[in-house]
Amino acid sequence: MLKRTLVGLIRSYEGTGDRAKDPALKSHIYKLSKEKAWEEVVSTLKKMQGYRLLHEVQNVGEIVLEKRTMFGRTMDITVSVISVDPLRSAVDIYSASRGSLGDLGSNYRVIMEIYRVLDKKLAAYKLNNV
């Protein structure tokens, strides 16, 4: 956690992907078609407290959210649902804080929170063991 805070002093964004060095930031894979994964992810995100869904573009697989921090900063979060193959989908998250200062690791924590909620909701379909 200390490393995250130190990185967060200068960096105000965080993202996940299949090549992420941090295992916690690897893409999460679910045994669901892209359409089914999209429905589940969108309905789950809409219910999350403190997040505001700005827009969703299903054909691109992108959901854009906004979250305000305790300190009044705004975070822009993009959740991507990507088809791996007809039966599996990956979910990636990119979170960035508005403003010039670092985020003290808050973008990392937001990503972990969203993944925790999605993994709980989609536990029956989760494939990678992060």
pLDDT above 90: residue 7: no
Distance CA 89, CA 86 (A): 8
**Per-residue pLDDT reduced to its tens digit, 79-129:** 999 999 999 999 999 999 998 777 888 999 999 999 999 999 999 999 865
Task: Give the fold, CATH level 3, of 2-125.
Answer: TATA-Binding Protein (3.30.310)
Does this model's pTM top 0.75? My answer is yes
- Locate tokens 């892209």: which residue? 34
Domain ranges of the chain: 2-125
Local confidence band at 9 (pLDDT 50, 70, 90 cut-offs): low
pLDDT at 60 over 80: yes
Give me the pLDDT at residue 128, please.
Answer: 64
pLDDT at 76 over 90: yes
Q: What would the pLDDT profile of 12-46 be if each residue is shown by its tens digit? A: 889 999 999 899 999 999 999 999 999 999 999 99
